[in-house]
Amino acid sequence: MGWISENVESLKSIQIRQFLTQAVSLGLIVTSALIIWKALMCITGSESPVVVVLSGSMEPGFKRGDILFLRLNKDPIRAGEIVVFNVDGREIPIVHRVIKVHERQDTGEVEILTKGDNNYGDDRLLYAHGQLWLQRHHIMGRAVGFLPYVGWVTIIMTEKPIIKYILIGALGLLVITSKE
C-alpha cells in the first residue's frame, strides 16, 4: 500500500509541463512500437511477421507459447514447410505443416493441405465449411525461426485480461511519474 500512496503523492507534485513531457514520451514509445511493427511487415512481406503458437498441435517441434518469425515471399510452397494461415470465418491464425501441394496446370493455382504434427488427421475440419484445400491467399507466412516459451506472456495476458490491464496501467504510471 505504501508504493501506491507514494505514487499518488508523486502524481500530485508533478507540474503540468512535466506531465505533458511524460505523456509525449509515452506517445513516442507507442508510436515507435507501431513503426517497428510496420517495418517488420514490409521487410518480411507478411501481415503478421511474429505469431505465438497457441496450442499443442505442433508438438514436439513447436510448443504452446513459442514465438514464430514469419516471412512471405513468392517462392513455391513445398510439402514439409511450416506455414501460418487464416481460414475464412476464423480470426485466429493457425500454425501447421504443409503435407500436400497441388498445382493446377491449366490455371497455375496452388492448393495446399495442412496438418498439425501432433494431430491424427489433416486440417480439412478446420477449414471453412465445404473447403477442402487452402489457396495461396490464405497463407500469412512461413516459419523461418522461433523463440521458445517467450509467447507465454501473450497467452497469459489473453487468457487473464486483468493482468494485461494491471501491467499496462503500471507501465503508464511508471512513465508518467518518472522524474527524468
Residue 131: all three cell numbers together: 473447403
Q: For residue 7, what is the DSSP state?
A: H
Burial class of 121 by CB neighbour count within 10 A (0 to 12, 13 to 18, 19+): exposed
pLDDT at 126: 86
pLDDT at 179: 62
pLDDT-flagged residues of the chain (< 70): 1-3, 7-16, 176, 178-180
How do residues 131-157 score in pLDDT, each as one tens digit? 889 988 889 999 999 999 998 988 888
Helices (runs of H) and strands (runs of E) counted in the chain: 4, 6
154-160, Cβ contacts within 8 angstroms, sequence gap of 24 or more:
154/52, 155/52, 155/54, 155/64, 155/65
**127-to-5, 89, 92, 141, 148 alpha-carbon distances in Å:** 53, 9, 12, 17, 27
Positions marked active-site: 57, 96, 123
Q: Is 66:151 a contact under the CB 8 Å cutoff?
A: yes
Residue 14: all three cell numbers together: 508533478
pLDDT at 160: 87
Instruction: Say which CATH architecture domain 50-148 belongs to.
Output: Ribbon (2.10)
pLDDT at 1: 58
pTM over 0.75: no
Q: For residue 142, what is the DSSP state?
A: E
Domain boundaries, the chain: 1-44, 50-148, 150-179
How do residues 28-54 score in pLDDT, each as one tens digit? 888 999 999 999 899 888 888 999 998
pLDDT at 8: 66
